[in-house]
């Protein structure tokens, strides 16, 4: 069968199919789409092909929907980093959705840190927001959040998280737990992580007494999820957690492995913290 015969078959097939729906009224796609397009931009939408093509010439002047919260420039590359979408009324009260996509050419340039810092700085002024959490975050996001949380605590809560304060208060206090969500919108768990990082940042690794205290703080944080009563432990749906809670040898092995992982993680965060201190956009 040559190409002409194939084309005739396709045309015939389409004609047969279309006869089935000849009495059906077509959906008004334009009306449906306009429900999702901001009212401020409906005058700029068009179904005219020539007008659409002419608008492409000014495409570089396009402004995204929403309210611009932050604009920054890194190494001469401008980036409009954070927009609040106020378009769809169905989701205008939903504070639980946020996705961050940074394409490979722009990774490792500080965009993620800058963006997340802007989000915290914007929401920390909102009295309706109790804390900022992430559901099932990736390891990379956890590292980014730890860095931003550490910077926020150093900037807004120096009386609790500076090097001097960390040495003086070598344990997490109720006042720290209360202040961190109020000022920086951090959860209790994140506040604990920052406190341990600040303590490690402040001590000398050759000071065995303080390093012992640091190891204890790390292990307390690691085993906090296991500190539940016997009744809850019996209802635990996670066999691995149950084994750690009841088997001293497994708990000891887990503790040693996780301590090394946490130590490496904190060292990476503290190196990044030192790296970004000279940046103009701090």
Residue among 270, 40, 6, 282 at smallest CA distance from 147:
270
Instruction: Please say whether the beta carbons of 64 and 80 come within 8 A.
Output: yes
pLDDT in tens, the chain (282 residues): 554 554 445 445 455 555 666 677 778 888 888 777 766 555 567 778 888 888 788 777 766 667 777 776 656 555 444 444 434 444 445 555 567 777 788 787 788 888 889 889 888 888 888 888 888 888 889 999 999 999 999 999 999 998 888 888 778 888 988 989 889 999 988 999 999 999 999 998 889 999 999 999 998 888 776 665 444 554 555 666 666 666 778 778 888 888 899 999 999 999 999 887 755 344
Opening angle at CA 20, ends 14 and 26, nearest 5: 90
Q: What secondary structure letter does DSSP report for 59?
A: G
Helices (H), 23-162: 29-34, 49-55, 111-123, 139-156, 158-161
For 261, the token pair is: 């992982």
What is the chain's percent helix, strand, coil content, to nearest 5?
Answer: 65, 5, 30
pTM (2 decimals)?
A: 0.65
Strand partners, 80: 71
């Amino acid at each position: 069968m040559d190409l002409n015969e194939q084309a005739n078959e396709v045309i015939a097939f389409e004609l047969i199919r279309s006869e089935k729906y000849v009495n059906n009224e077509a959906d008004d796609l334009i009306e449906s789409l306009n429900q999702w397009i901001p009212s401020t931009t409906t005058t700029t939408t068009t179904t005219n092909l020539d007008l659409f093509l002419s608008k492409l010439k000014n495409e570089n002047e396009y402004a995204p929907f929403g309210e611009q919260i932050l604009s920054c420039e890194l190494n001469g590359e401008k980036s409009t980093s954070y927009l609040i979408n106020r378009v769809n009324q169905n989701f205008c009260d939903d504070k639980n959705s946020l996705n961050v996509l940074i394409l490979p050419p722009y990774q490792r340039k500080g965009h993620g840190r800058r963006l997340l810092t802007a989000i915290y700085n914007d929401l920390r002024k909102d009295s309706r927001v109790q804390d900022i959490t992430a559901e099932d975050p990736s390891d990379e996001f956890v590292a980014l959040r730890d860095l931003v949380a550490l910077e926020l605590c150093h900037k807004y809560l120096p009386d609790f998280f500076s090097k001097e304060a960390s040495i003086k208060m070598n344990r997490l206090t109720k006042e720290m737990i209360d202040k961190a969500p109020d000022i920086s919108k951090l959860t209790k768990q994140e506040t604990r992580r920052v406190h341990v990082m600040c303590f490690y940042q402040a001590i000398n690794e050759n000071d065995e007494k303080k390093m012992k205290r640091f190891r204890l703080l790390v292990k307390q944080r690691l085993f906090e999820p296991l500190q539940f009563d016997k009744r809850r432990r019996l209802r635990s749906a996670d066999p691995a957690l149950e084994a750690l809670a009841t088997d001293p040898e497994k708990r000891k092995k887990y503790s040693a492995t996780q301590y090394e992982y946490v130590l490496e993680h904190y060292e990476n965060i503290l190196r990044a913290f030192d790296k970004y201190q000279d940046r103009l956009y701090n």
